[in-house]
Amino acid sequence: MAEGWWRARLASIRMPPSSGGSPRAYLPRTHFPPGRAHATEAHPTPRHAVNIERYRSIIPDWDRFVETIERPEPTTLRVCTRRVDPAEVTARLEADGFGLEPVDGLEDVFRVVERPRLASDTVLHWHGLYYIQQASTAVVAPVLDPAPGARVLDLCAAPGGKTTHLADRMGGRGCLVAVEVNENRVRALLGNLYRTAHTNVLVVSGDGRSLPDAALFDHVLTDVPCSAEGTLRKRGGKTRGRAPTGKFHRRLTRRQERLLRRALRLTRPGGTVLYVTCTFAPEENEAVVSRVLADAPTEVVPLTLPVPHASGLTAFEEERFHPALEGAARIYPHHLDSGGLFLCLLRRLEGEVPDTDASQDAMAAPVGGMEGGWAAPPVLYPPGDGEAEAARAIERALDDLRTTFGVQDEALERFRWTARGDSVWAHSAGEWPLAGWPEGGHWRLVSAGVRAFGPDAQRRLRPSNDLLRVLDAAVRERRVELTEGEALALLEGRGPAVAIGDGPVALVLEGHVIGRGDVRDGRLRSEIAKARARPLREVLERAVQRGD
């Protein structure tokens, strides 16, 4: 979920003494910038009070709900099935001392019932073979259910749990545009996308309310900013005595409604929009959707989830909501031993969507030659006169990749290659919407798939760490297999002598490529960027100390 709304709120917040006057100390860690993307292993202190008593009349099995929120939330992980068989991950984790049990109703999601250490403290996690994710949020992607090849938009994407889950279900095909307004959270999103090696995701920095609507999507996920009441287990179920103020809710719900209306404008007739929050508050859930249903061409698609849940509300206190909202779903902490979540699936119908936050650049007309605003990605971005030269440079780089690392054409056919600046990006999006988006708008393309080639000191394009990781088993030559101890020594600058000719190599740990290395005078050195190498080194240091 996006968090830009926190910043506007900070100026009016009087920090408690325990915060040392620091806004960062008073914000929930789940909304922090990069590095803390996995909420189930963190213990943040939320900013707002949660007056849960106001929900007694709408939460079934109240006593069980209260008992659940006072217990720590168990860690759950989702296996990235596009890259690995879940049986391999579970077998390796169990051999390492972890106890796992499947979460009923959620495919490839496992609850950690025993752990010798944090589930993020493994080489498998660094490889991106699983994602630590709340069980409740793992419901989202299967509900939206994008098919391979679909056009999908995630309006508030960071830190990336739902985004990567959607990309997994798309099988690396189609185009998934992940939008995030907060620059710090964009970095967290990129980190998780690169770690999990997804190539069909375009990351866009911008406000979802201002996205152009020249190109329409099949599915839009609208996981809006909210008061996050459903995350109260992260502080042991304790409240701060009062709920968010009326003024706070009015500002927040206006933003939520605008995001939902924009999502509908960006969806083709017959397509679907999934509205999601992690709060219990009807003001942010049924009330928002009810106002949109009153004047927008859309209808509720009743949800039948494979996990325990409650129906949406048609009334709360003195307010009445659209009767179709009974088809929405409310997941409370005791349903999945997880967090709280609200989901409402909408189908876009024919007709115009009233948009109270539309701007002129958000209503661009499709460019000629495109199908509904979609077009094949160009060889050069932004497009220009250098396309022929860019194509020749890309082909030279691919020839070098084939020759040096033994990569076969069939492993490369699934990618498109786009030159941007001095780099080349590899992505598996067969089409994208950017050609129809006006330049100079309130958005910018951050990445398309992974950065595949970058220049060396002689300005020659060479394969990146990310490309070698994505190719993984397709890298057939110049692979250097490392033990944990050897990998640690290498990352510490104590590269071993190797029996392979000088030049670039692919570094391999536990059967998977971890990045690029270089051999000089028979001695190996790492070329993994420090920011990526540091967390791996820390994992390996602890593993070596344990004697794994």
The pLDDT tens digits along the chain (548 residues) read 433 333 333 233 333 333 333 322 222 323 323 333 333 443 333 344 568 899 999 999 999 999 999 999 999 999 999 999 999 999 999 999 999 999 999 999 999 999 999 999 999 999 999 999 999 999 999 999 999 999 999 999 999 999 999 999 999 999 999 999 999 999 999 999 999 999 999 999 999 999 998 999 999 999 999 999 999 998 665 544 445 567 777 899 999 999 999 999 999 999 999 999 999 999 999 999 999 999 999 999 999 999 999 999 999 999 999 999 999 999 999 999 999 999 999 999 999 998 665 444 444 444 444 467 899 999 999 988 999 999 999 999 999 999 999 999 999 999 999 999 999 999 999 999 998 888 777 899 999 999 999 999 888 999 999 999 999 999 999 999 999 999 999 999 999 999 999 999 999 999 999 999 999 999 999 999 999 999 999 999 999 998 87
CB 132 within 8 A of CB 338: no
* Residues 434, 44: Cα–Cα separation, whole Å: 37
Q: Is 278 a catalytic residue?
A: yes
CB 139 within 8 A of CB 307: yes
pLDDT at 373: 87
pLDDT at 343: 98
Residue 179 token pair: 């939008």
* Residues 329, 139: Cα–Cα separation, whole Å: 11
**Residue whose entry in the numeric block shows the structure tokens 């997880």:** 338
Q: How do 267-277 and 217-223 pair as beta strands?
A: parallel
Residue 466 token pair: 């990310």
What number of CA atoms fall less than 13 Å from residue 377's CA on the CB side?
28
**One of 80, 175, 226, 278 is an active-site residue; which one?**
278
pLDDT at 26: 26
Cα distances (Å, whole numbers) of residue 388 to 132, 392, 399, 401, 427: 43, 6, 17, 20, 19
CB 259 within 8 A of CB 222: yes
pLDDT at 69: 94
Eight-state DSSP code of residue 107: T
pLDDT at 547: 81
Query: Which amino acid is present at 32?
Result: F
Residue 30 token pair: 């789940």
CB 505 within 8 A of CB 479: yes
Residue 217 token pair: 């999507």
Q: Which domains does the chain have, with CATH numbers?
A: 4-73+134-348 (3.40.50.150), 364-476 (no CATH), 478-548 (2.30.130.60)
pLDDT at 372: 76
Choose among 163, 165, 194, 201: nearest CA to 80: 165
Nearest-5° Cα angle at 339, 335 to 341: 85
pLDDT at 235: 65
Eight-state DSSP code of residue 371: B
The residues near 344 (Cβ < 8 Å, ≥ 6 apart) are: 274, 275, 285, 286, 289, 300, 303, 312, 325, 327, 328, 329
* Residues 297, 368: Cα–Cα separation, whole Å: 27
What number of CA atoms fall less than 13 Å from residue 437's CA on the CB side?
20
- What stretch of H or E contains 203? strand 201-206
- Helices (H), ranges, 266-408: 286-295, 333-336, 387-405
* Residues 466, 386: Cα–Cα separation, whole Å: 25
Query: Which long-range contacts does 364-372 make (Cβ < 8 Å, 24+ apart)?
Result: 364/212, 364/213, 364/214, 364/436, 364/437, 364/438, 364/441, 365/214, 365/436, 366/214, 366/215, 366/436, 367/214, 367/435, 367/436, 370/215, 370/435, 370/436, 371/431, 372/215, 372/216, 372/268
pLDDT at 358: 46
pLDDT at 240: 42
Residue 9 token pair: 């709120």
Rounded to two decimals, the pTM is 0.88
